[in-house]
Structure formats: C-alpha cells, structure tokens
C-alpha cells in the first residue's frame, strides 16, 4: 500500500510534463495564415510603413537621401561578396555562384557586365552598370530618389500595366536569357 502514493505522484508528474511540453510546442510553433503588419504571410503594411522601410533599406550611407552614392555602395558590397577569389574581377564561375544570378544565366550576366569582352568583369565594369530597380525608382534620372519618386514608384508597383509597374520586359530575365 505504500507504493500507491508514489505511483500516483509519478503519474501526476508525467502528466504535468506532457502538458508543459505541449504548451511549449504550441507557444513556439509558427503562426499560420496572414497576420497583421509586414512580413512573410502577412500584408505589406500601410504605404507609409513601406516607404519608411524602403528608405531605411536603400539609404546605405545613412545620410537621409537615397542616391547614386547608395547604389554605388550597394554595388561595391555586392561585388566584394561575389569576388570569391578576391582578385578584383569576376569570372564565369563567380557569376555561377553569385547571389544575384542563377547558374543557368551566369554566361548572360557576365556578357551584360563585361564591356571590354575579355571574359572578366572588373569592379569598374560591375559598379558602372546601373541596376534597373534603382533606375525605376529615380524617375527623373538625377541620381536622387525623392519621397515623391518613391511614392510614385510604389504606386506603379502595385498597379501592373502602368510605367514601372508589374514585371519588366522579358519577365525579368537577363538579355539573351532562355
């Protein structure tokens, strides 16, 4: 008879442990379905939040202005990340591994950047190439993206068929892509 309270206590502890584990699993499980605010599976947030987020992401030098200087800084960082052998030039293999390129399009991307057609892309060739996304934001081409231009670009982005809206010609593939 003295074993009964121990068995009961062991059963209660086991049950309590299972309940605690279930609570932890439920609490740590990702939410399903759309929720409020920006983020995966959620809406983009309101336009003001989107603009502030974009300005924060694009103003890399932190001077309060989105400009060609930010684009050049971004391009230089991307070049450094892509130049795996640190020889200050990019070859076909590095384009295959590039974070912005798919291996199937590596040869096409190399051709777009390689102005002197020597099979290598120098830092100067890479950074001189303007990203289409920046060009679409800088509507007047003055190398400064104003709040008005950013707002207009966001409007166009949400309305396919308008200038700057929807997919670029060719579905976003590089020239000569498959």
User: For 8-67, what is each residue's pLDDT tens digit?
Assistant: 655 656 666 666 655 555 556 554 444 444 555 555 567 788 888 989 999 999 999 999
Are the beta carbons of 61 and 73 closer than 8 angstroms? yes
pTM: 0.59
Domain ranges of the chain: 48-158
| Lowest-confidence region among 26-35, 53-62, 109-118, 120-129 | 26-35
Distance, in Å, from the CA atom of 106 to the CA atom of 92, rounded to the nearest integer, reads: 6
Are the beta carbons of 38 and 53 closer than 8 angstroms? yes
Superfamily the domain 48-158 falls into: EF-hand (1.10.238.10)
**Of 4-13, 83-92, 166-175, which one has max mean pLDDT?**
83-92
């Amino acid at each position: 008879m003295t074993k009964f309270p121990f068995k009961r206590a062991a059963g209660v502890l086991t049950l309590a442990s299972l309940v605690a584990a279930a609570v932890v699993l439920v609490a740590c499980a990702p939410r399903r379905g759309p929720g409020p605010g920006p983020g995966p599976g959620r809406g983009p947030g309101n336009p003001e939040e989107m603009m502030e987020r974009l300005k924060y992401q694009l103003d890399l030098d932190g001077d309060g202005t989105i400009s060609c200087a930010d684009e050049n800084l971004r391009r230089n960082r991307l070049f450094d990340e892509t130049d795996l052998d640190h020889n200050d030039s990019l070859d076909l293999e590095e384009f295959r591994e590039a974070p912005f390129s798919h291996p199937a399009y590596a040869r096409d991307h190399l051709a777009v950047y390689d102005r002197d057609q020597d099979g290598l892309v120098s830092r100067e060739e890479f950074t001189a190439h303007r990203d289409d996304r920046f060009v679409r934001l800088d509507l007047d081409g003055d190398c400064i993206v104003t709040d008005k231009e950013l707002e207009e670009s966001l409007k166009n982005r949400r309305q396919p068929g308008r200038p700057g809206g929807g997919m670029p010609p060719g579905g976003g593939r590089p020239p000569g892509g498959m």
